[in-house]
């Protein structure tokens, strides 16, 4: 990077879990970073250490409204990712994905910036092929409780490719599979944070359904590395590209590893399975390997140990 002309990077949703890690790495690498967030699920504490950096700025803003900035790259991460949170206000979730994408694509077009969309494995819905490859069109319920997120993200992908075809905008679409790590919100309801917090507090571990559904969990540092590689890849690499860790685990197996690593005596309780909960999920990451020379390096146990250490600190602070 030219130190006299650092890349000006906008990160929407930059005060959230993934966004704050991304901002941290971009700031460390000398970019000029503007973080935009409305704190719907993110928090000031996630970005607090960055506020003193001269190459970091924060703007409180809702991306469903237009934004005018001069930038070179946009990472569009704004959108709640946890099912209870995105289902809390489903209309706003769709607006964030669709109106937010239109606003950010319009901004990218105006200043000729390259724009990356944080899409999701949810575009595959409850997949009928396994593992999921990027050419699979998915199996998504358009009118269910998860649809605001799944269909919102699918429509955002449509908009990205239409801007690319119609006005030759430089786009990158990452389909992110379940990612975890420090700074997940302790009560946003996602499985890794739920199980760790429950285990550390000695509360029952809540497994939805019989626990045989699977997910593939990627550690946040690996994921951030994949996003940055994708953003800086040649223009013809548009994606969609799967980013995730292909290690596949049942929720029962996940609970058992977490119980072992936390040495918790918590017991397991089964609760009803939420509607349209995908049965199996595992990314085929050969495209990311071929085009980005990317693969995840942090194994589940190692990543969980680092995440557990983070939550131990958070819970200790809460009880003081």
- Active site annotation includes 149: yes
Q: Which region among 21-29, 68-76, 188-196, 300-308 touches ligand UDP (by CB under 6 A)?
A: 188-196
How near is the Cβ of 262 to ligand UDP at its closest, in Å? Answer: 15
Assess 15 for contact with ligand NAD (CB under 6 A). Answer: yes
Cβ–Cβ < 8 Å for 31, 25:
no
Q: Which of 80, 152, 239, 240 binds ligand NAD (CB under 6 A)?
A: 80
What is the DSSP track for 215-261? Answer: EE-EEHHHHHHHHHHHHTS-TT----EEES---EEEHHHHHHHHHHH
Cβ–Cβ < 8 Å for 73, 32:
no
Count, residues near ligand NAD per rule CB under 6 A? 28
Assess 274 for contact with ligand UDP (CB under 6 A). Answer: yes
Structure tokens at 75: 């990472």
96 interface partner picked from ligand UDP, ligand NAD, none, CB below 5 to 8 A per type: ligand NAD
Rounded distance, CA 273 to CA 213, Å?
10
314 interface partner picked from ligand UDP, ligand NAD, none, CB below 5 to 8 A per type: none
| Residue 130 DSSP symbol | S
Assess 178 for contact with ligand UDP (CB under 6 A). Answer: yes
**284 contacts: CB under 8 Å, gap ≥ 6:** 131, 132, 133, 134, 242, 246
How near is the Cβ of 181 to ligand NAD at its closest, in Å? Answer: 9
Among 113, 34, 36, which residue's Cα sits nearest to residue 72?
Answer: 113
How near is the Cβ of 270 to ligand UDP at its closest, in Å? Answer: 9
Choose the catalytic residue: 75, 149, 163, 180. 149
Binding site for ligand UDP (CB under 6 A): 82-83, 178, 190-191, 194, 206-208, 213, 215, 251, 274, 277
């Amino acid at each position: 990077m030219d130190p006299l002309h650092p890349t000006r990077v906008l990160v929407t949703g930059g005060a959230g879990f993934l966004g704050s890690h991304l901002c941290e790495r971009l700031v460390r690498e000398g970019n000029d970073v503007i973080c935009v967030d409305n704190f719907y699920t993110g928090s000031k504490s996630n970005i607090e250490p960055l506020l003193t950096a001269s190459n970091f700025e924060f703007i409180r803003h809702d991306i469903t409204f237009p934004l005018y900035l001069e930038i070179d790259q946009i990472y569009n991460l704004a959108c709640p990712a946890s099912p209870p949170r995105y289902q809390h206000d489903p209309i706003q979730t769709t607006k964030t994905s669709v109106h937010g994408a239109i606003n950010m694509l319009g901004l990218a077009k105006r200043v000729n910036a390259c724009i990356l969309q944080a899409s999701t494995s949810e575009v595959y819905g409850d997949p009928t092929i396994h593992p999921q490859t990027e050419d699979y069109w998915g199996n998504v319920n358009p009118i269910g409780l998860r649809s605001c997120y799944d269909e919102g993200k699918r429509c955002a992908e449509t908009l990205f490719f239409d801007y690319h075809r119609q006005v030759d905008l430089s786009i990158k679409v990452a389909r992110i599979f379940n990612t975890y790590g420090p700074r997940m919100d302790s009560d946003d309801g996602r499985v890794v944070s739920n199980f760790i917090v429950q285990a550390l507090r000695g509360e029952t571990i809540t497994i939805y359904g019989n626990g045989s559904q699977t997910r593939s969990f990627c550690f946040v540092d690996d994921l951030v590395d994949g996003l940055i590689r994708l953003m800086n890849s040649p223009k013809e690499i548009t994606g969609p590209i799967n980013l995730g860790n292909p290690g596949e685990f049942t929720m029962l197996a996940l609970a058992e590893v977490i119980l072992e690593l936390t040495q918790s005596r918590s017991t397991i309780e089964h609760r009803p399975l939420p509607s349209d909960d995908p049965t199996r999920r595992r990314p085929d990451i050969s495209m990311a390997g071929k085009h980005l020379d990317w693969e995840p390096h942090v194994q589940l146990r190692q990543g969980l140990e680092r995440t557990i250490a983070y939550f131990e600190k958070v819970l200790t602070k809460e009880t003081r």
